[in-house]
Chains A and B, each alone.
Chain A
Amino acid sequence: MSGKSAREERREERLRTESEGDKQERRKRLLQIGSAAAFLVIVAVAVAVVITQSSSDGGDTSLEDVALVNQELQGIPQSGLTLGEQSAKVTLFEFGDLQCPVCKSYAEGIVPEVIDSQVRSGEAKIEFRNFRIISQESVTAGAAALAAGQQGRGWNFIELFYRNQGIEASGYVSDEFLTEIAKGAGVPDIAKWNKNRKDQAGSLREVQRSTEEAQRLGLTGTPSFAVAGPNSDGFEVLGTPGDAGTIERAIEGAS
């Protein structure tokens, strides 16, 4: 009787030990699976970072001032290449060439002042018109801005382009550069933007049309400004004022 009991006890002990061993083995296996998964995720993140890095055109052309531009324009409505409330009484026209370094300095200094003082408040809106004075690349860039405007990011594109402008007619206005600007500007549909910017009858034709308009108005350089409002003398050409105050006074006078 007691012998059987001892055998049973030994058997139970053996089963317990085996079961404990199984559990340990299972636990070890699951921990190994967890470690392998963690390793795979680390590798996947590293690969994704490398791919993102290399797909940004060489990896060394990170854009300047993306956040600054987005912050400057945040909350201001855009339509095409017009920035500001559509109902604003006065329209300030800027005839610019995206390759023009003087336009760049205006974009960084004078224009933001006007945006803050009179566009954000709804007193005026600014309409950018392409005036090609430098090279064919200006047409390519202008058409790309117009295509960005079709997706509500025209001014982000223009401002970001100026802040990352290269040496004029040096060939920097490549598809890669423009795409990077469009992405930085937040153009939502890059494929559509690509199609629209190459549209001969659309964006490219529009750059030609606004350039001819600027020439008809007798403008000779960029950036050139003009205002139109209820109290302006029609389309009032301001030329290239050297400070924001002159533009602001012209807007007040036209409103």
Chain B
Amino acid sequence: MKAPAEGTLRAIATFVATFGIGVATYIAIADSGGGSPVCLAGGGGCEAVANSTYSHLLGVNVAVFGIAGYVLLLAASLLRGDAARMGGFGISLVGFGYSVYLSYLELFKIEAICQWCVASAVLMTILFGLNAVRMIGYVGREA
């Protein structure tokens, strides 16, 4: 099966990464004010997740790492060449893996679902898919 045009993959990745920066920034800002993101459908899921010990890594809110990840993915989507293809794939792979782990924690340890975290996990999954197709389809080829 032929991979979609690399330009198309990069354009979609640019859009999704930008959206991801917005979501992660909102979570980080809500946390920095001592609160938690507001779940749009109500319920205490976002508060429970934000207040859990899993919401911070080395004392830093995981959303901050999320922002950094999305910024790097945005850069990878804007750049050409194998370094960007491999870099985008590697970063989205780590982001996707961490999203899987966080989703596991939400479902089985914290027993609460935060819509914002789910949104971020979905965006990271899409980015992983796009970057994987880009890497498999175009790595080692002309930029």
Residues of A within 8 A of B (CB): 23-24, 26-28, 30-31, 33-34, 37-38, 41-42, 44-45, 48-49, 52, 56, 62-63, 66-67, 70-74, 153, 183-184, 186-188, 190
Which of B7-15, B16-24, B63-71, B89-97 lines the interface with chain A? B89-97
Query: Are B112 and A66 in touch, CB under 8 angstroms?
Result: yes
Query: Are A44 and B112 in touch, CB under 8 angstroms?
Result: no
How far does the Cβ of B133 sit from chain A's closest Cβ, in whole Å? 12
Residues of B within 8 A of A (CB): 43-45, 47-48, 51-53, 82, 86, 89-90, 93-94, 96-98, 100-101, 104-105, 108-112, 132, 135-136, 139-141
Query: Are B97 and A41 in touch, CB under 8 angstroms?
Result: yes
- Please give me the residue from chain B that is nearest to A30 by CB atom: B139
Residues of A within 8 A of B108 (CB): 62
Query: Are B136 and A31 in touch, CB under 8 angstroms?
Result: yes
How far does the Cβ of B58 sit from chain A's closest Cβ, in whole Å? 14
Query: Are B140 and A34 in touch, CB under 8 angstroms?
Result: no
Query: Are B47 and A188 in touch, CB under 8 angstroms?
Result: no
How far does the Cβ of B2 sit from chain A's closest Cβ, in whole Å? 16
Main secondary structure of the interface of B (DSSP, over half): helix
Query: Are B44 and A190 in touch, CB under 8 angstroms?
Result: no
Given contacts A30-B139, A33-B86, contact A48 B112 (CB under 8 A): no
Can you list 13 contacts pairing A with B, beta carbon distance less than 8 Å?
A27-B140, A30-B86, A37-B89, A38-B93, A42-B97, A44-B97, A45-B101, A48-B101, A52-B104, A67-B48, A67-B111, A70-B48, A74-B47
Residues of B within 8 A of A184 (CB): 110
Cβ-defined partner of A30 (8 Å) among B45, B52, B53, B82: B82
Query: Are A52 and B136 in touch, CB under 8 angstroms?
Result: no
Given contacts A42-B97, A183-B52, A183-B53, contact A74 B136 (CB under 8 A): no
Q: How far is the CA of A75 from the CA of B118 in the complex (A)?
A: 22
How far does the Cβ of B16 sit from chain A's closest Cβ, in whole Å? 19
Given A30-B82, A186-B47, 18 more contacts at CB 8 Å? A23-B140, A30-B135, A31-B135, A31-B140, A33-B86, A34-B135, A38-B93, A48-B101, A62-B108, A62-B111, A67-B112, A70-B48, A70-B112, A73-B44, A74-B44, A74-B47, A186-B51, A190-B53
Q: How far is the CA of A44 from the CA of B100 in the complex (A)?
A: 11
Residues of B within 8 A of A186 (CB): 47-48, 51-52
Q: How far is the CA of A65 from the CA of B47 in the complex (A)?
A: 15
- Please give me the residue from chain A that is nearest to B131 by CB atom: A34
- Please give me the residue from chain B that is nearest to A185 by CB atom: B51
Q: How far is the CA of A66 from the CA of B96 in the complex (A)?
A: 26
- Among B96, B109, B132, the most chain A Cβ lie within 10 Å of the Cβ of B109
How far does the Cβ of B104 sit from chain A's closest Cβ, in whole Å? 6
Residues of B within 8 A of A72 (CB): 44
Query: Are A70 and B47 in touch, CB under 8 angstroms?
Result: yes
Query: Are A67 and B44 in touch, CB under 8 angstroms?
Result: yes
Q: How far is the CA of A23 from the CA of B100 in the complex (A)?
A: 34
Residues of A within 8 A of B89 (CB): 34, 37
- Among B48, B82, B98, the most chain A Cβ lie within 10 Å of the Cβ of B48
- Please give me the residue from chain B that is nearest to A67 by CB atom: B112
How far does the Cβ of A120 sit from chain B's closest Cβ, in whole Å? 13
Query: Are A70 and B53 in touch, CB under 8 angstroms?
Result: no
Query: Are A45 and B100 in touch, CB under 8 angstroms?
Result: yes
Query: Are A52 and B105 in touch, CB under 8 angstroms?
Result: yes
Query: Are B43 and A71 in touch, CB under 8 angstroms?
Result: yes
- Please give me the residue from chain A that is nearest to B53 by CB atom: A183
Given contacts A49-B101, A67-B111, contact A37 B53 (CB under 8 A): no
Query: Are B48 and A66 in touch, CB under 8 angstroms?
Result: yes
Query: Are A26 and B110 in touch, CB under 8 angstroms?
Result: no
